[in-house]
Chains A and B, each alone.
Chain A
Amino acid sequence: MTKTTRTDLARKGPRVTRRAFTAGAGATALLAGTAPFNIIQAQGAALKVGVLLPRSGAQAGIGQDCQRGVQVAAGILKDLGLPNLQIMNADTETNVEVARAQAEKLINEGAQLLIGAFDSGQSTAIAQVAEQKGIPYVINIAAAPPITEQGYKFVFRNFPVAGTILADAFANQKEIFAATGSAPKSVAFLHCNDTFGTAMKNGIGAVMPKFDMPYKIAETISYDPTARDLSVEIAKAKATGADALLVVSRLNDAILLTRELVKQRWSPMAILSMGPGWYEDQYLKTLGKLGDGPLSFVPWYDPNKKLSKQLEAAVAKAFPGINVNTNHVYTFEALLVAADAYKRAGSTNPTALADAIRKTDIKDNVSTGPGIQFNAKGQNDKLRNSAIQNRGGKLVTVAPKEASNAKVEWPMKPYDKRG
């Protein structure tokens, strides 16, 4: 629920001449990065970036959270000496048709680059428009693999696909088991029967055997995304006699599940979550002490990186009481990619921008992993995922070791001992 911000900090200079000059010079000369060109670009026009997010409809909360990443971006990008971006906001209304129409509309109004849209379905629709029109599109969050398997030349995704999230989850879990010397022998796998949950479930079937995990899945229990009451699901999970809970859910379900765990008096050795919900602010605030303990294996940021600290500070200042999370990080990084590519391309020509994006190599970034690069399909396949744990109402990163800032608490403290 924010007013439209049009970060229009473009300084008006004799744009036409310089733009014509630099555009004519071609991508190669610009990428040489010689100083005079950089100075010129810093005074150039702002890049028009269309931001498509679900700001109403079922995913409104998440869309608005992603928007926070957009709002803190301007200040940080400026500090980094990157060119200005003129943000054009649009609401996909959590609807595929609207997403497509809004993408067309933004391009019509002069957007030179698009970012968005959190949801795989809407991102697919936008990707088609972007590709047709030859406008670069940087996806902030969407895990469905097919989007970057279409042979698109203008679509880029700086977010891991479901398979990578899973593979890293298992790797991180093994790291944790090794560090603590203990592991569950059997788990009950609970997942939401929606797009993400089912994709993860299918992925687990494919990926888990390769990792030789110490535990078996005792039972797979899927529940309806609109479920009002999850007592049956927890009763079933408890009845399997499993040591730990493996779960893919969303925010509301996470809160419901935790409550049921307390009410039905079951404290598993660990809660291993491979999706959203268990680390979100609302979860921590609602459950207080009862919210500590769950481990989430998710795309995250590296708290030790310099830019991460800057982002944390900016979010703390602009939105006190809100923890930095995946939504902020990846939306911010999409804008980082845009600004960085614009600086190197030196022009707003979409093909030049797309080529520049393809050659992106940002080592000083926020998300976990060696940095931001795109492979031939437009996917950043170098992204790593972290393991975070809820602790005292805050989040600490416990794995992988090189991107962590705390030791894991294992096993999880039983609910009835939390005072």
Chain B
Amino acid sequence: MIGQLFEGVPARALVLGGLLLGVLVAAPFLVNDYLLTVLIIILYYAYTGQAWNIMMGFAGQLSLGHALYVGLGAYTTAALYVHFGVSPWIGILAAIPIAIIGGAIIGFLAFRFRVGGVYFAILTIAFAEFARVGFDHFSWVGGSSGFFLPVANYSVSDLWNLRGKPMMFYYLILTMTVGAFVICRLLLTGRIGYFWLAIREDEEAARAIGIDTFRYKMFAVILSAGMTSLAGVFFAFFYNNLFPEQVFHISRSIELILAPIIGGIGTLFGPVLGAFLLTGLSESMHAILYKFGVDIPGVKQVFYGLCLLFVVIVLPHGVWPWVARVLGIRERRS
């Protein structure tokens, strides 16, 4: 398996990747707390982007309601923790199945009834909105007045209950992101990866040669949903408050998918690069505007939108393929 992990990877990529990982591991000792928080946000979006990428880039299904899984994971573990004192590590044993069931329902409905393309996207939006309104009325988890997790002493790093300093959370999300990266790499280079490629390129043909497209598409959906729910768990315990209006909102779903689309759908490193680019862009825009004394709300978002526009028009496959070319790394599959 280790061999499979590194097979076919050019040496340059390994070196650069290793350097990046090294810098990230050392980060808490190199940067101040504000930058650490920014890095946490970046890695969070890299992780969720990677999870979303599985559904989109690998199985070709555009999901615009991924916030649903984030919310399900967040609320399940938070509720278990607040009401029963259950550690989130145990809580995920409930959160992941719940998210998977959600994904399975959507996947089943979509694939059995041949709902594809933009209809599928709308279907995912509808489910997320349904959850939003539903949780707004779900008083056991606070409803729309919000669900608050009790915050304990900060000087103690309690990994079991996920209470502690930002550094602990940083390493947690770093581990999750690296883990997601590894999982995706293994899947892509294995049999499933080839099946996914076939389905994405031409589903009819894939079915014609005997690939059970339903089963592999479902697998992508379920895996994506399950992985995304873990991001929800992180979110709940890092920010310590949940509001259905914010957690399930469509703007959240859109935020999740910006990074992988900008970075490059279907690529392994795309979501990570995308996350760094977007957050970096956002923060530097903030800093630049501040320097010029421009303090009008909305200006930053306009520039943000213009940059997005630029990338979408000029680099339709995302930024990573271009960067990879420049760095001289050829990725085996695009």
Partner-B contacts on A (CB < 8 A): 1-4, 55-56, 60, 64, 89, 91, 95-97, 100-101, 104-105, 107-108, 120-121, 124-125, 128, 131-133, 144, 146, 150, 193-199, 202, 224-225
Contact = CB atoms under 8 A, between A and B. Distances in A.
B84 interface: no
Contact of A224 (B36, B133, B150, B241): B133
Interface in B254-298: 290, 293, 295-298
B237 to A, nearest CB: 11
Contacts of B296: 1
B245 interface: yes
A101 B146 contact: no
Contacts of B240: 124-125, 128
B145 A144 contact: yes
Contact of B34 (A60, A64, A95, A104): A104
A56 B245 contact: no
Contacts of A132: 154, 165-166
Given A55-B297, A195-B145, A101 B38 contact: yes
B146 A4 contact: no
Contacts of A121: 146, 241, 243, 246
B189 interface: no
Given A100-B37, A104-B37, A193-B136, 15 more contacts: A4-B293, A4-B295, A56-B298, A96-B241, A100-B239, A101-B41, A108-B34, A120-B146, A121-B146, A128-B240, A131-B154, A132-B166, A144-B146, A193-B144, A195-B243
13 contacts: A1-B296, A2-B295, A60-B297, A104-B34, A104-B36, A105-B34, A108-B32, A124-B241, A132-B166, A194-B144, A195-B144, A195-B145, A198-B136
Nearest to B287: A105
Contact of B239 (A1, A60, A97, A196): A97
A340 B134 CA distance: 46
B143 interface: yes
A1 B297 contact: yes
A196 B144 CA distance: 8
B301 to A, nearest CB: 7
Interface string B150-167: 110010000000000110
B137 interface: yes
Q: DSSP majority for the B interface?
A: helix
Give the most central of A60, A95, A107, A146: most B CB within 10 Å: A146
Interface residues of B, number: 35
Contacts, number: 90
A11 to B, nearest CB: 24
Interface of B: 32-34, 36-38, 41, 133, 136-137, 139, 143-146, 148, 150-151, 154, 165-166, 239-241, 243, 245-246, 290, 293, 295-298, 300-301
A338 B172 CA distance: 37
Nearest to A104: B34
Nearest to B298: A56
Contact of A146 (B34, B37, B148): B148
A182 B144 CA distance: 35
Contacts of A225: 144, 245
Nearest to A162: B145
A44 to B, nearest CB: 26
A194 B301 contact: no
A125 B239 contact: yes
B32 A197 contact: no
A224 B129 CA distance: 12
Nearest to A203: B145
Contacts of B38: 101
A56 B301 contact: yes
Contacts of A198: 136, 143-145
A124 B33 contact: no
Contacts of A107: 33-34
Nearest to A131: B154
A125 B241 contact: yes
A96 B246 contact: yes
Contacts of B145: 144, 195-196, 198-199, 202
Contacts of A120: 146, 241
Contacts of A133: 33
The 7 A-B pairs at the shortest CB distance, nearest first, are namely A56-B297, A198-B145, A104-B34, A199-B145, A146-B148, A108-B34, A4-B295
Contacts of A4: 290, 293, 295
Nearest to A105: B34
